[in-house]
Structure formats: C-alpha cells, structure tokens
Amino acid sequence: MDYKSAGVDIEAGYKSVELIRKSVESTVRPEVLGGLGGFAGAFSMNAVKGMTDPVLVSGTDGVGTKIKAAFILDKHDTVGIDCVAMCVNDIACAGGEPLFFLDYIACGRNYPEKIASIVSGVAEGCRQAGCALIGGETAEHPGLMPEDEYDLAGFAVGVVDRPKMITGEGIRPGDALVGLLSSGIHSNGFSLIRKIFDMTPDSLNRHYDELGATLGETLLTPTRIYVRALKALTDAGIVIKGASHITGGGFYENIPRMLPEGCAVRVETASYTAPPVFKLIQQTGGISDRMMYNTYNCGLGMVLAIAPEQADEAVRVLKVAGEKAVIAGEVVSGERTVEIC
C-alpha cells in the first residue's frame, strides 16, 4: 500500500508545479522575494514606502458553482480570472492596490495539465490586476470529490494609504452614481442559472443569435477586473467617495454597503444597455425584476459615488482607460435603500 494507491499522486503534484512555473513567473513584481516552491510566499514591504499611514486590505473569495460549466465544457483557463477578480475588485473598493495573490485548488484527482490551465487563468487575472501570484496549494481529495471536479478559491492582500481610503463617509445626496459596465454574469447567481438551463454539453454548446455566442461561452466570460480603472480615476484627481462591487446580492445588497446614514440611491436602468444574457435568463426562468436585481449585476459590475461636478470627467477618464462607463443614477436622501427605475 502506498499514497498513490490511496488516491494521491505526489508525482502528479510535482508535474503540476513545473507546468505552472511560467504562469506564476509572469506575474512577478519587484517586491517578490524567492521563487516558486517555498513554504511561504515572501513579499517585501517596499511597496508601502512613502505612505503616511499604510493600511493592509484583503479579500478572499471563490468562483462558486460557475465552475460546473467549466467541468462540462472541459474549459478551465478562464475561471482563474474570476477567482482573482472576486478578490481584487473588493480591495479596489477600499482604494487599495492589490499586491499579491494566493490560490487554493481542491480536486478529486490531480491532472497536471488541467491544474496548469486553471493557474494560467489565475496568472492572467493577476496580470490584469497588477498583483503577484506568490503561492498557492493544490490538494487532492480522493473519495471526497469526484475525480474530474475541483473547487477554486483565492486570497489577495493590498495596501492603501489611510488618507486615500474609500470609505463612503463623504457621500451626500446629489452625488452621481457612475456605473462601470460588466462583461456579463461575472461569478454570481449560477446556482439559479443551473436550475434554468440544462447543464449538458448540448445545451451549453447551443448558439444563441441574441448572445452572438454559445450559452457556454457566454456563461464562462470572465469577471471584469476594475483595479486599473479605479486607479486611473484617482490618478486623474477624481475623488471616489464610495465604491460598490456588484456581486452576490446584486444591487439591493451591495450598493447600500457603501452608503452612510441618510443616503439612498436611485439607479436609472435606461442609462445603459445590459448584456443580452440577462434578458435571456429572466425570460427563460420567469424571474421577477426584483429578483434579477437582487441576484445579478444586471450589467453594472461596479458602482461609484462621485461628486456631481466630477461625474462627466470620471466617465471620460474611464472610457480612455478602456472601460464602458455611464452616469447610472444619483444619491438621494433615505436610509440605505436602492430604487430601481
């Protein structure tokens, strides 16, 4: 009897490490110390030099049941982007710069090429966010998980100078809501989607004219990473009073998280065009408007509170930075509620 006969292939683990080496190295920042394979990822604190009051900010999350589509289509090179995005976008909401990221992959069986494909997506997400992938873990769980399945989660650490933190405290009625458009569903609400659509190869490979793609391609579109977009705003002198990453809980749960007492928001849905996948989900599933906005980003992946006199300039800067952005509503008097109109 040996470990391999018990379901854990140590040699496959070694091969996985070698296959992911180039992906990991492509994310290195000057502050990274050491290389792949150490017990701990090391990161120099030179990144905080020059700050008056450096504050570490962190985020952890996973991809959720979106990975079910990856299993069925045997396509694993994008879910890593989702994993990074879910963590670093939260850090960006506090005004933070993501510094480094660690991933955790639990699998029923270690297939090195599959692990390498997953990590290639993680590395791509790190490159988009400007952070380093300094470590991770791949754990085989034979007998606990099916051999062809895995779960993916991650953890990111960033830093922000306390005077530049985005806290929401300065939000006032009359401020504009600037919305950054999403790339699609991102990584939330997939448990409902799996009830609406047959999660089979035939169903996922069906082409929809209104989507301009197959259902599977649309579902696996990676979560957009907004780190560089928010940095472009601050570099341009735009004051971000509040920021909300629209994830699980949609508009109704996430936007109030940035609001101080005495403030509510009005979101004008006519101000932007949502990706057509949301209409397909709603019509196919017979879902109410409120449930849609309480589950999905419905086309806005990030919502910012900006002083009205800076709102137009914020939209311009974001568009130069490659984002689709609109003035999507305003802050009004109220008690942390969201009106969709």
Domains and CATH numbers, the chain: 10-164 (3.30.1330.10), 176-340 (3.90.650.10)
Q: How far apart are CA 113 and CA 80, in angstroms?
A: 14
CA angle 268, 287, 193 (to 5 degrees): 105
- pLDDT at position 2 is 47
Higher pLDDT, 35 or 23: 23
Across 174-203, average pLDDT: 96
Across 293-309, average pLDDT: 97
Strands 97-107 and 150-161: antiparallel
Q: Are 83 and 152 in contact (CB under 8 A)?
A: yes
- pLDDT at position 4 is 63
Across 320-326, average pLDDT: 96
Residue 47: pLDDT band with limits 50, 70, 90:
confident
Strands 240-245 and 300-306: antiparallel
Q: How far apart are CA 104 and CA 93, in angstroms?
A: 23
Q: What DSSP element (H or E) covers 140?
A: strand 132-140
Across 101-124, average pLDDT: 95
pTM of the model: 0.93
Residue 11: pLDDT band with limits 50, 70, 90:
low
pLDDT at 3 > cutoff 60: no
- pLDDT at position 34 is 79
